[in-house]
Amino acid sequence: MIYLDYAATTPMTPAAMDAYRQAAETYFANSNSLHDEGSNASGALEGSRKLLASIFGGSPSGLHFTGSGSEAAFLAIYGLAMANREKGRHIITSQAEHSCVRNSFNWLKEHHGFDVSMISSTENGSISLEELKKELRSDTVLVSIQHVNSETGAINPLKEIGELLSDHPATFHSDCVQSFCKLNIRPAEWGIDAISLSAHKIHGPKGLGAAYIHPRTRWQPFIPETNQEHGFRPGTPDVPGVVSFAAAAREQDQKREENFNYVHKLKQQFVGQVLNQCHDCIQFEGDPDKSSPYICGLRVQGMEGQFAMLQCSQKGVGVSTGSACQINEQKPSATMLAMGYDPEEAKQFIRLSFDPATTTGEISRAAEVLTDVLKSHLEHVKM
């Protein structure tokens, strides 16, 4: 099968797998143990923490490992909101956030009485700075806006958001799962207090994420009196997983610009080939100049995205109908709804996501399959 669902997950690279195997053999001890083997494991853990933090210019002491990117987002959002609740209980996010972020805010609303403002998306998929500015209040304590949308690839203007918040006491969190090691991320320079990351989106192991909170920023642990990960999350750290995460990140970051340019050409090739055949029944979403080349979202007019996805799968091309974390809900794309589409239009959405491992031949074949699926459907409708 031609796999074009890299935004859902990626295979581990040989370098990441080798790093995991070697670390599992060498650093098997509990990194909190005080004997020499424990100290060796702790050294590997802290070395990996330092490497990962250096990629986005952060302080190692602010990086906390978690069991996933979703858990990292929840613990960061909870910690930032609860630590500042005496200043206010108003928080802002966007309607197009990943489900784990939206669910975290809904949980804070239901269980801790926070007032949540969810802003919509512009026609290119990113948020409106003017709408964000209008929603800001004196009691706003947290703003969480994703860097790259997982369905359309729309890139939000984090630097500009940081500048907008520079004179406001609210803390600023961003879900950077789809941008880490793919786009440039500079939290300190952009006024971002916290970001959340995931290993398996960059060819690292599954079951591992990280939350970065600037050391100067106040946060509250979800589970009190935790000793591991600076009190952020309980449990014995997965040292081999962390070492593998760092190895994958280093490998991807070293090739970041090269990979970006290559994948950008792949997306241009796919869009051009499909529009050449089906320009009247395909709607590509997002501004091509302001979106990640790794993600390509489109609506198949007159056909449910789930049907198009199944037809492509039967023909050997793996695509998706959006974020894998919400597909089982069988609901319209939250991103499409945030962009103003009605539920039926939102159900027409499918997503393809690319990787440096994707070949031009695979892109050409995928475009052929999708156009064949569309033409067959249109002929069936006309009968």
Task: Respond yes or no: is residue 325 known to be catalytic.
Answer: yes
**CB atoms < 10 A from the CB of 365, how many?**
15
Instruction: Copy the structure tokens of residue 48.
Output: 């990996």
Q: Looking at the DSSP assignment, which residues form a beta bridge with residue 7? A: none
**Do 8 and 198 touch, CB atoms closer than 8 A?**
no
Backbone angles phi, psi at 353, to 5 degrees: -140, 135
Q: What's the Rg (C-alpha) of the chain?
A: 21
- Spot the catalytic one: 176, 278, 312, 325: 325
Residues 6+ apart with CB under 8 A from 183: 147, 148, 155, 256, 260, 292
CB 278, CB 375: distance < 8 Å: yes
Contact 5, 319 (CB under 8 A): yes
Q: Is there a contact between 337 and 326 (Cβ–Cβ < 8 Å)?
A: no
CA distances from residue 166 to 48, 87, 170, 188, 354 in whole angstroms, order as listed: 31, 17, 9, 12, 35
List of E strands, 128-271: 140-144, 171-175, 194-198, 209-213
What residues contact 279, with CB distance under 8 A and at least 6 apart?
A: none
Bridge partners of 353? 5, 295
User: What end-to-end distance do the CA atoms of the chain give, in Å?
Assistant: 31
Q: Dihedrals φ, ψ of 51, to 5°?
A: -65, -50
Residue 134: burial class (beta carbons within 10 Å; 0-12, 13-18, 19+): exposed
Q: List beta partners, residue 298.
A: 284, 350
Q: Is the Cβ–Cβ distance between 267 and 293 less than 8 Å?
A: yes
| Phi, psi angles (nearest 5°) of residue 94 | -115, 155
Q: Which tokens is 250 given? A: 């280093």
- By annotation, the residues acting in catalysis are 325
